[in-house]
Chain A
C-alpha cells in the first residue's frame, strides 16, 4: 500500500498558508488586514506566504482602494480549492488509519 503521506501537499505544510486557505474556503473574499487579524501574524510573514500561494495559482489577488488606502483582497481559485480538498482528504485517510 502506498504511504498516504506522499499525497500531502507540501504547500500546506505551513500553518499560516493552511490558515489562509481555511479562511478563504468559507469566505468569498477577505482583505489583508482581516487575514492578519484572524491569523495573528505580522505583515511581512503573511505577505510572504500569500505570495507563495499566489505563485502556486491557489489565490487570486485583487488590488483596490478604500479612499486613499490600498485594500488588497484575496479569493481562492478553483485549483486552490481542489488542492486543498485533496489535502484534507489525505489527512482524513491518515487519521482513519491511526484508529
Chain B
C-alpha cells in the first residue's frame, strides 16, 4: 500500500505535468532585456536617419563616387535605411532572445522546440503575419505615421494571444504595447519614441521583472 507521502508526491506530479504541458515556461526574462536593448539601439539609429532626411543632409551630401545613389531619391534612401535597420534589429533581437531562452530551457528541462514552444510560436505568428502585411500596405500607401502604432498594436495583440500558452505575465506586456500603439495613433510624428518605449523600455522592464520573479533564485 502506498504511504501518504507517496500520494502527496503524486499530486505534485500531476500539478507539474499539467503546468509543464500547458505552458511554455522556459521563456527567459533576459530574452526580453536583450530584445529591448536591440530595440533602443535601433530606435536611436532610426531617429538619426529620419533627422538627417528631414534636414536634407543626404541630398547635399551626395557624392559622385556612390554609383547607386543617383538612382535613388532621398526618400527611397531613407526607406531603404529604415528597412535595413528593422531587419538587422529583428534578427539580432531574435537571436539574443533565443540564446537566453535556450539556456533557460536546459534548467527547466522543457525543450526549446517542444510542443508548448511550438504552440506559443503559432499563436504569436498569426497576428504578426497579418500585422506584417498590414504594415507593408501602410507603407505602400505612404501613411508612414501609422507604421509605429501598427507595429505596437499587432505585437500587443500577438502577446495577449500567446499569453495563454506561456508565462501569464506576458499578457501585461501585451496590454502595455497595445495602449502605447493606440495613443500613438493620435500623436503622429512621434512614432519613433513610442516604438522605443514599447519595444525598448517595456521589454526591458518586463524582462527584469520576470528575471527577478522566476530566475534569480533558481540560478
Residues of A within 8 A of B (CB): 5, 8, 12-13, 15, 18-19, 22-23, 25-27, 30, 34, 37-39, 88, 91-92, 94-95, 97-98
The secondary-structure label for the interface of chain B is: helix
A-B CB pair tally, cutoff 8 Å: 55
> Beyond A26-B22, A27-B22, A91-B11, is A5–B17 a contact (Cβ under 8 Å)?
no
A91 to B1 Cα, complex, angstroms: 14
Closest B residue, CB atoms, query A90: B7
| Interface residue ranges of B127-172 to A (CB < 8 Å) | none
List residues of chain B with CB under 8 Å of any chain A CB. Answer: 1-2, 4, 7-8, 10-11, 13-14, 17-18, 20-22, 111, 114-115
- Cα distance A25–B20 when bound, in Å? 12
Q: Which residues of A contact B7 (CB under 8 A)?
A: 91, 94-95
User: Cβ of A38: which chain B residues have Cβ within 8 Å of it?
Assistant: 17, 20-21, 114-115
Residues of B contacting A18 in the complex (Cβ-Cβ under 8 angstroms): 10, 13-14, 17
- Interchain CB contact under 8 A, A37 and B11: no
| Secondary structure dominating the interface of A | helix
Partner of A19, one of B4, B13, B111: B13
Residue contact B18 to A22, C-beta cutoff 8 Å: yes
Q: Which residues of A contact B115 (CB under 8 A)?
A: 30, 34, 37-38
Q: Which residue of B lies closest to A24 (CB)?
A: B21
Once A25-B18, A30-B21, A88-B14 are accepted as A-B contacts, the answer to whether A95 and B4 lie under 8 Å apart by CB is yes
Which residues of B sit under 8 angstroms from A88, Cβ to Cβ? 11, 14
A95 engages B8 (CB within 8 Å) = yes
Distance between Cα atoms of A80 and B20 in the complex (Å): 21
Minimum CB–CB distance from B11 to chain A (whole Å) comes to: 5
